[in-house]
Amino acid sequence: MADKSATLTYDNKTIELPVLEGSVGPEVIDIRKLYGQTGAFTYDPGYKSTGSCESALTYIDGDEGILLHRGYPIGQLAEQSNFMEVSYLLLNGELPSKTELDDFSYTISRHTMLHEQLSTFYRGFRRDAHPMAIMCGVVGALSAFYHDSTDISDPEQRKIASHRLIAKMPTIAAMAYKYSVGQPFLYPDNSLSYTGNFLRMTFGVPAEQYEVVPAVEKAMDRIFILHADHEQNASTSTVRLAGSSGANPFACIAAGIACLWGPAHGSANEAALNMLREIGTPDKIPHYIERAKDKNDPFRLMGFGHRVYKNYDPRATVMQKTVREVFDALKVNDPLFETALRLEEMALSDDYFKEKKLFPNVDFYSGVILSAIGFPTTMFTALFALARTVGWVAQWNEMISDPGQVIGRPRQLYTGPTARDYVPVEKR
């Protein structure tokens, strides 16, 4: 029994509910025995007050704008680390030694190729298919190709599946892009970094030597770090729920990709850039701010607001800085960045956004950078999925390794008809 408890009085009965304490952050009231003791469920659609699991991976304090991976602040990781190191950290709990990092990077590079037959799989899609549609299909199909890493009760197979997913995602995403533009697929080049290899597979062509621009490689790598994990968000919870039934990891990550695709989640980066393009010039901003505030207008400022952050999303801070670095390196000056800065400034000084604590989130600036690098908007969410795969996989592993893991099975507040007798069709 925990030291602290909460008392609940319900239906003339008083029960004590244990209060559990994490290493930091809000305490949780443990209601696991509530139904057995009272016959009542809790009700929390959207899980606004619900902790769904125990996790040691990522901590967010949304009021303070803090994001930590295994205790390390996202700003420090984005500035000083790299995506391979952050991936190791998320998977293993500690930063790697130099040898551990070299070994890990080497292992990942040895899994970057896709089964050759998968390239024929791509040809079954229409050329104008959304890359996320292709990602859902191809990642789900991996379970048909890698049977030797689908036994989730074997830690070694889980590790291999995790490495395969992290390693193959850039190849899968780059091939989705290549297919859409009708260019030949490029095989991975393991002499390049994880991120450099992805850029080459996406933008290189067989006829020419592709030169990775270091500033772009660094910016892309940082974008991957910023998207690597984010606690129990919708897609991560989807992966956990799918995995809780014992489904194989490839199927679970495909489920995560499906969830990420939604405009309220990972597709907001695509929607944010489309919105900036629609707004166009700063003089149109007031009109769109008014629309965002109008309850009768479905328009929202995309890339603004967050379920957890009621302060500036710390990832947006890094993202804004990265825009300037990429623009300098590529000598571009997209006027949409000025529009974005002005929109942020005007929204943050508006009472509606202040009162509702709506700040730019990670997606607000990422589209401007990705567009400058050369990605079409349809690829934005695919890049997010690529980067988030390590988080999904780490969360999935954490769940499967937990000896107390059970299938996730929420209940409901039923509002349909009560029991009634079937009426044959001729009597209706």
Of the residues 221, 363, 402, 421, which is catalytic? 363
Which residues are CB-neighbours of 408 under 8 A, at least 6 positions away? 52, 240, 241, 244, 245
Q: Specify the residue, 264 or 332, whose C-beta has the smaller distance to ligand ACO.
A: 264
Region of 7-15, 25-33, 50-58, 265-273 interacting with ligand ACO (CB under 6 A): 265-273
- Give the shortest CB-55-to-ligand ACO separation in angstroms: 18
**Joined tokens for residue 158:** 């889980």
**Rounded to whole angstroms, how far apart are CA atoms 251 and 136?**
9
- Give the shortest CB-139-to-ligand ACO separation in angstroms: 19
- Give the shortest CB-174-to-ligand ACO separation in angstroms: 22
H-only helix segments in 205-334:
214-227, 234-244, 249-260, 268-279, 285-293, 314-330
Q: Specify the residue, 160 or 276, whose C-beta has the smaller distance to ligand ACO.
A: 276
**Rounded to whole angstroms, how far apart are CA atoms 25 and 62?**
10
Dump the DSSP string for 341-383: HHHHHHHHTSHHHHHTT--B-THHHHHHHHHHHT--GGGHHHH
The residue from 159, 265, 321, 342 that contacts ligand ACO (CB under 6 A) is 265
**Rounded to whole angstroms, how far apart are CA atoms 357 and 153?**
44
291 binds ligand ACO (CB under 6 A): no
300 binds ligand ACO (CB under 6 A): yes
Site residues (CB under 6 A) for ligand ACO, limited to 217-256: none
- Give the shortest CB-297-to-ligand ACO separation in angstroms: 10
Find, among 364, 371, 366, the residue nearest to 343 by Cα. 364
Site residues (CB under 6 A) for ligand ACO, limited to 356-375: 356, 358, 361-363
303 binds ligand ACO (CB under 6 A): yes
Q: Are 40 and 29 in contact (CB under 8 A)?
A: no
**Joined tokens for residue 39:** 């016959």
Q: Is 147 a catalytic residue?
A: no
Of the residues 130, 227, 306, 313, which is catalytic? 306
CB count within 10 Å of CB 236 equals 26
Region of 138-146, 147-155, 161-169, 258-266 interacting with ligand ACO (CB under 6 A): 258-266
**Joined tokens for residue 203:** 């933008």
Site size toward ligand ACO (CB under 6 A) is 18
The residue from 86, 302, 318, 400 that contacts ligand ACO (CB under 6 A) is 302
CB count within 10 Å of CB 190 equals 17
- Give the shortest CB-270-to-ligand ACO separation in angstroms: 11
Q: Is 306 a catalytic residue?
A: yes
Q: Is residue 128 exposed (0-12), middle (13-18) or buried (19+ Cβ within 10 Å)?
A: exposed
The residue from 137, 243, 249, 305 that contacts ligand ACO (CB under 6 A) is 305
Residue of minimal Cβ distance to ligand ACO: 305
**Rounded to whole angstroms, how far apart are CA atoms 403 and 377?**
42
Site residues (CB under 6 A) for ligand ACO, limited to 306-325: 306-307
Please, what is the end-to-end C-alpha distance for the chain in angstroms?
56
- Give the shortest CB-259-to-ligand ACO separation in angstroms: 10
Catalytic residue positions, numbered: 306, 363
Could you list the residues that contact ligand ACO (CB under 6 A)? 264-266, 268, 292, 300-307, 356, 358, 361-363
